[in-house]
Structure 1
Amino acid sequence: MKKILILLPIVFLFGCEPERGSDAWCEKMEKSDKGNWTLNDARDFTKYCVLNQKPE
């Protein structure tokens, strides 16, 4: 039972995150501090938001 109580908040935190490459994700990334982006964030932002390629 304790494992469920520990994992439940983690599931809700990640469940609310917009799908990478979606319009909502692009808007969220535009508003976030670019200094906190990872290399994957920058690559995916360029791919999905700048070049407008759809996620697979």
Structure 2
Amino acid sequence: MKTIKLLVLLSLAYLVSACAPEVGSDAWCAGMDKKAKGDWSGNEATDYAKNCVFK
């Protein structure tokens, strides 16, 4: 029974994580605008510049 509960929890976590907006989409750019610039990774800053600033 514990195994089934664990599998259900892992499945739900996987489904929720798959709902993140695609890098470069309007939703992703809006989310990055709300996030503190100091919390951005180097890759996020590069992707933001490529996809949101220099479209």
Matches within 5 A, 1:1-56: 1=4, 4-52=7-55
Query: SS in structure 1 opposite 2:21?
Result: coil
Alpha-carbon distance, 1:2 to partner: 5.3
| In structure 2, C-alpha distance between the alignment counterparts of 1:8 and 1:34, rounded to whole Å | 32
Structure 1: gaps of 5 or more residues: none
What is the alpha-carbon root mean square deviation over aligned residues? Answer: 1.5
> Which of structure 1's runs of 4+ aligned residues deviate more than 6 A?
none
1:3-44 superposed Cα distances (whole Å, 9 cap, x missing partner): 523422331331221001101000000011111110000000
Structure 2: gaps of 5 or more residues: none
| In structure 1, C-alpha distance between the alignment counterparts of 2:37 and 2:16, rounded to whole Å | 21
| In structure 1, C-alpha distance between the alignment counterparts of 2:33 and 2:15, rounded to whole Å | 23
Q: Rg: which structure is higher?
A: 2
| In structure 2, C-alpha distance between the alignment counterparts of 1:10 and 1:42, rounded to whole Å | 27
Tell me the TM-score normalized by structure 1: 0.76
Alignment coverage as a number of residue pairs: 52
